């Protein structure tokens, strides 16, 4: 019988990272592959990015709508519950041998809970990391304990997962899948990028992705206003914003950015979703990245692009020399921007290597899952050295 493997994706960033794996399983006639799409992929507010998947000629087997048009803690909890209800029904119908999940968002946690209850073994990517100022941290570690196979993005993270009681033989470090994914994105010309963005780039260009810090006392509105004030003082700069995830206060952040862009139409633009290919090509041509996304930590070292990491959302992750850690204070942000644009800082980045890169990450994960012996049941031993 064919091994049945199912992949779940709930947002634009996840799909971009998972895309190489999806393509490998999709082409393998010895694998019974299914793709489940949910979350912001099916939300007009966040760009209805399921269309990006379909443009890649990838069959979407199941679409599960669960995202409510609100970003309060209650609405997110309800979205979590809706996903568990609907996804459990789908998993019972598919009954996959392995359910592949990526990351640490609440949608992923809901998918893991459904899988655990339905007794479907989970393969989890990106466990063992730490992000102290985000609720994702707790989600990530709980997903690890629900999973049977683990693909960590660095050796430090692999060791941490084993310390959590996971069997060493089932914990692998094949490198970061999203870094592997970057290598597969076709480079386009700067003029083509401008055409697709419908936005003229300048002498200096900044890419901004800012999410809410879900576990800190300072409000998201206060934080984004500080960032925008600092950006408003930048001269001869073009600024592109990508909208936030459907986290708590996400719409507040997006609203503040939209108001900023309305007042600065000549120099700024906002996008619900750039899509994976455009986003990667922006990293190739832009001069500076500002924000607090995991992409800023994991992906930007590949392009040797100066990156300002704001606040504590990513605190605890391994960082490269291109990262400038910065408090969310106007003076600090302005100083960090000046440093990021400086010739002396950029010279230091010419020889850096991405610490998360390993050759053929997607191929190694694919081969492991294709060849691994399936557990007879979903019970787990707690590993104690």
- Give residues with Cβ within 8 angstroms of 293, minimum separation 6: 13, 209, 210, 211, 314
Instruction: Give CATH for domain 190-348.
Output: 3.40.50.2000
Helices (H), the chain: 12-27, 50-55, 73-94, 106-117, 136-146, 155-163, 177-182, 190-197, 220-232, 250-263, 275-285, 294-298, 330-341, 343-348, 361-371
State the pLDDT at residue 181. 87
State the pLDDT at residue 135. 86
**Residues of CATH 3.40.50.2000 domain(s) within the chain?**
3-175+358-371, 190-348
State the pLDDT at residue 286. 97
State the pLDDT at residue 245. 79
pLDDT by residue for the chain (385 residues), tens only, comes to: 799 999 999 998 899 999 999 999 999 999 999 999 999 899 888 888 999 999 999 999 999 998 877 778 898 899 999 999 999 999 999 999 999 999 999 999 999 999 999 999 999 999 999 988 778 899 999 999 999 999 999 999 999 999 999 999 999 999 999 998 898 899 999 999 999 999 999 999 999 999 988 677 788 899 999 999 999 999 999 999 999 877 778 889 999 999 999 999 999 999 988 988 999 999 999 999 999 999 999 999 999 999 999 999 999 999 999 999 999 999 999 999 999 999 999 999 999 999 999 999 999 999 999 999 888 888 999 999 7
Q: Which of 32, 6, 24, 42 is nearest to 114 (CA)?
A: 6
Phi, psi of 305 (to 5 degrees): -100, 130
Q: Which superfamily does CATH assign the domain made up of 3-175+358-371 to?
A: Glycogen Phosphorylase B; (3.40.50.2000)
- Cβ neighbours around 173 below 10 Å, total: 21
Q: Structure pTM? A: 0.91
State the pLDDT at residue 198. 95
The single residue listed with the structure tokens 């991405």 is 354
State the pLDDT at residue 183. 84
Q: How far is Cα 186 from Cα 322, in angstroms, rounded to an integer?
A: 23
């Amino acid at each position: 019988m064919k091994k049945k493997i199912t992949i779940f994706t709930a947002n634009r960033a996840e799909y971009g990272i998972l895309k190489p794996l999806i393509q490998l399983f999709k082409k393998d006639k010895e694998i019974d592959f299914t793709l489940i799409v949910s979350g912001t992929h099916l939300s007009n507010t966040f760009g209805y990015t399921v269309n990006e998947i379909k443009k890649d000629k990838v069959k979407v087997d199941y679409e599960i709508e669960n995202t409510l048009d609100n970003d309060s803690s209650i609405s997110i909890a309800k979205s979590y519950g809706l996903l568990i209800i609907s996804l459990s029904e789908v998993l019972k119908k598919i009954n996959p041998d392995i359910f592949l999940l990526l990351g640490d968002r609440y949608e992923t946690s809901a998918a893991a809970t459904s899988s655990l209850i339905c007794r479907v073994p989970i393969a989890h990517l990106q466990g063992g990391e730490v992000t102290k100022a985000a609720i994702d941290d707790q989600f990530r570690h709980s997903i690890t304990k629900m999973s049977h196979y683990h693909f960590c993005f660095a050796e430090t993270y692999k060791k941490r997962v084993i310390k959590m009681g996971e069997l060493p033989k089932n914990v692998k470090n094949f490198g970061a899948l999203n870094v592997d994914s970057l290598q597969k994105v076709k480079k386009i010309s700067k003029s083509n990028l401008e055409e697709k963005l419908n936005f003229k780039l300048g002498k200096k260009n900044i890419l901004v992705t800012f999410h809410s810090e879900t576990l800190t006392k300072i409000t998201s509105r206060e934080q984004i206003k500080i960032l925008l004030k600092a950006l408003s003082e930048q001269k001869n700069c073009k600024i592109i914003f990508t909208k936030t995830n459907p986290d708590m206060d996400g719409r507040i952040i997006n609203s503040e950015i939209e108001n900023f862009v309305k007042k600065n139409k000549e120099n700024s633009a906002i996008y619900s979703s750039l899509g994976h290919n455009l986003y990667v090509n922006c990293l190739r041509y832009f001069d500076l990245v500002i924000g607090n996304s995991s992409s800023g930590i994991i992906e930007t070292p590949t392009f040797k692009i100066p990156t300002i990491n704001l606040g504590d959302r990513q605190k605890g992750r391994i960082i490269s020399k291109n990262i400038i850690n910065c408090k969310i204070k106007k003076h600090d942000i302005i100083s960090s921007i000046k440093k990021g644009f400086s010739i002396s800082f950029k010279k230091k980045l010419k020889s850096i290597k991405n610490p998360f890169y390993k050759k053929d990450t997607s191929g190694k994960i694919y081969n492991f899952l294709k060849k691994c012996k399936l557990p007879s049941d979903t019970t787990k031993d707690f590993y104690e050295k």
